[in-house]
Amino acid sequence: MDQMKERFAKLLLGEDMSGGGKGVSSALALSNAVTNLAASIFGEQGKLAPMAPERKARWRKEMDWLLSVTDHIVEFVPSQQKSKDGTNMEIMVTKQRKDLLVNIPGLRKLDTLLIDTLDNFGEEQEFWYVSKNDDPENESSRREGKWWHPKVKVPPNGLSETSRKWLLSEKEAVSQVLKAAMAINASVLSEIEVPESYIDSLPKNGRSSLGDSIYKSITVEYFDPANFLSSMDLSTEHKVLDLKNRIEASIIIWKRKMHHKEGKSSWGSAVSIEKRELFEERVETILHLLKYRFPGLPQSSLDISKIQDNKDIGHAILESYSRIIESLAFSILSRIEDVLHADSLAQSSSSNSDDDATRLSSAETPTLLDFMGWGIDPLKRSSIDMENLFKVDSDKKTSKPPVSPTPRPPIPELSDN
C-alpha cells in the first residue's frame, strides 16, 4: 500500500517533485511510468532465460496499478431498465471506453505470452551463454558493438532437429505477438492529433522534406516501392529512421495542402489534388514497408511529438503498453535469431570439414545483413493472415520445450480502434 501511494503521488505531481505545478500532463506521466517500469524490469534481459520471480511479481503488480486507471475511463451507453410498475425505460449507464475494453485484455494476453516464452527456456537447453571476454575463440560477433550481450554457444555439430524445430516455432509465435503489438501501437498513434508544434517545424512543401532525389523517385510515372527501397541506402538504423521522418513529414504536408486547396494560405499548392493523393498513397506504402521490415526502429519525430503533446490518458496507456510489448517481443526475437545464427555457423563448419577445398572456398556464409534484417524482411517468413492472427483460444496452454514440437496458442482478438 505504501508503494502504491508513493507511485500515484508522483503521478499526480506530474513528475514535478517541487509541487510547483510545472510537471507534465497526466497522460505523459502515465506513459513515462509504464516506459520506465519496463526499462527497469526488462532492461537486463539479454538472454533467453526465465525472469527472476521477484522481477516478474513486481512487473505484474505495478502494471496492475498503472492499468487500474483505465477501469475509470468510461463512456455513456444506452441501457434498458425495468421499473417497479413493470414499464421499461431507456437510461444511460457507464461502460469502459470501447478501445480500452477490447485492447487492454488483449495486450495483457500478449504480455503473458512473452513472459511464458521466456519461462519456456528454463529447462535443459542445447545452447548456453558465455561472456564475450571469456570466449577463447574470439570470433567476430554479428553485434560487435553490443559488448554487454553474452555470446551464444551451441554444440560443435549444431542443435538437434527437434530443438531447432521447437526454436523455430517459438520464433513464429513471438513474431505474431510483435505484429499484433505493432498493429495496436500504429492504430493508437494514428488516433492522436498531430501537435501544432510539429506542424510549425515542417517545410512548406513535400519536396523540401523528402529531398530532390527521393521526391523524383516517388513522383515518377511508374512507381515500384520495392525498387525504391532497394535503391535507398538503408545500411544503418540512423539512415532508415531519417527516411521514415522525411516520409512522415511529407504525408502531413500533403494532407494539409489538400485542406488548403484554395491556395489562400502558405500551405496552398499548384499541384493537383489527384497527383498529391497519388504521391501520398505511395509514401504511405513505403512507410508501411519500413515499419514491418525494420520493427526495432526507435520512435520517429512525429511519434515523439504525439506522445509528448497527447492529453488522452487512455491513448497514452494503450500506446506505451503496446510499445513496450513490441520492444520486448523484438528483443526476444533477436535473442532467438542469435541462437539460430550460432546453429547455422556450427552446421556450416561441420559440413565444411567433410567437403573438398573447392566446395569449402565456394561455401556461402550468412552475412551481417542476412541476420540483422537490414535490407530484408525479418518477418517475411511469417505469412499468417492478420485476421487469423487475432483469433482467441483461451483454453490452450503455452508450450514447453517438447520431445516433438508442440504448436503455440494463437494470439488474442484485438480491436482496430
Amino acid at 402: P
Average pLDDT over residues 19-38: 88
Asked if residues 190 and 251 have their Cβ atoms less than 8 Å apart, the reply is no
- Reported as type and span, the H/E element at residue 143 is none
Residue 190: partners with Cβ closer than 8 Å, 6 or more residues away: none
Query: What's residue 392's pLDDT?
Result: 36
| Amino acid identity for residue 20 in this structure | G
Q: What is the pLDDT of residue 37?
A: 93
- Number of Cβ within a 10 Å radius of residue 87: 8
Read off the pLDDT band of 355 (50, 70, 90). Answer: low
Q: Which of residues 324 and 235 earns the better pLDDT score?
A: 324
Would you place residue 359 in the very low, low, confident or very high pLDDT band (cuts 50, 70, 90)?
A: very low
Q: What are phi and psi of 151, to 5 degrees?
A: -95, 140
pLDDT at 8 over 70: yes
Read off the pLDDT of residues 177-202 as tens digits, 9 standing for 90 and up: 999 999 999 999 999 999 999 999 88
> Which residues are bridge partners to 129 per DSSP?
152
Q: Is the pLDDT of residue 410 over 60?
A: no
pLDDT surpassing 90 at residue 85: no
Lowest mean pLDDT among 8-12, 46-50, 367-371, 400-404: 367-371
Task: Determine what percent of the chain is predicted with pLDDT higher than 90.
Answer: 33
Average of per-residue pLDDT across 34-42 = 92
Percent of the chain with pLDDT over 70: 76
Highest mean pLDDT among 3-17, 162-176, 205-219: 162-176
Amino acid identity of residue 371, one-letter, is F
| Interatomic CA distance for residues 182 and 134, integer angstroms | 37
Please report, for residues 160, 161, 347, 366, the alpha-carbon distance to residue 355 in angstroms, rounded to integers and kept in the order given: 21, 22, 13, 18
Rounded average pLDDT over 105-132: 88
Range in 25-39, 232-246, 348-362 with the lowest mean pLDDT: 348-362
CA proximity to 26, closest of 313, 366, 391, 300 = 313
Q: Which residue has the higher pLDDT, 270 or 252?
A: 252
What domains are defined for the chain?
A: 1-80+88-133+148-182+315-351+380-391 (1.20.58.2010), 193-261+271-309 (1.20.58.1310)
Q: Say whether pLDDT at 162 is over 60.
A: yes
**Residue 108: pLDDT band with limits 50, 70, 90:** very high
302-330 pLDDT per residue, tens: 999 999 999 999 999 999 999 999 999 99
Q: Cα–Cα distance between 232 and 206 in angstroms, integer?
A: 18
Task: Report whether pLDDT(248) > 70.
Answer: yes
Question: Which of 59-63, 275-279, 304-308, 343-347 has the lowest average pLDDT?
Answer: 275-279
pLDDT at 375 exceeding the cut of 50: no
pLDDT for res 56: 93
Beta carbons within 8 Å of 268's beta carbon, 6+ residues apart: 257, 260, 261, 262
Asked if the model's pLDDT at residue 405 lies above 60, the reply is: no
Arithmetic mean of pLDDT, 353-371:
44
Q: Which of 73-77, 122-126, 251-255 has the lowest mean pLDDT?
A: 122-126
Would you list the DSSP string of 383-415? Answer: ---HHHHT---TTPPPP---SS--PPPPPPP--
Which of 262-276, 314-328, 371-385 shows the lowest per-residue confidence on average (mean pLDDT)? 371-385
Residue 366 has what pLDDT? 44
User: What pLDDT, on a 0 to 100 scale, did the predictor assign at position 124?
Assistant: 66
Query: Does residue 217 register a pLDDT over 90?
Result: no
Q: How confident is the model at residue 206 (pLDDT cuts 50, 70, 90)?
A: confident
Residue from 390, 389, 407 nearest 398 by CA: 407
The CA distance from 3 to 10, in Å, is 11
Asked if residue 403 has pLDDT above 50, the reply is no
Residue 115 clears pLDDT 80, i.e. is over it = yes
How high does pLDDT run on average in the chain?
Answer: 79
| DSSP secondary structure string for all residues of 283-338 | HHHHHHHHHHH-TTPPPPHHHHHHHHH---HHHHHHHHHHHHHHHHHHHHHHHHHH
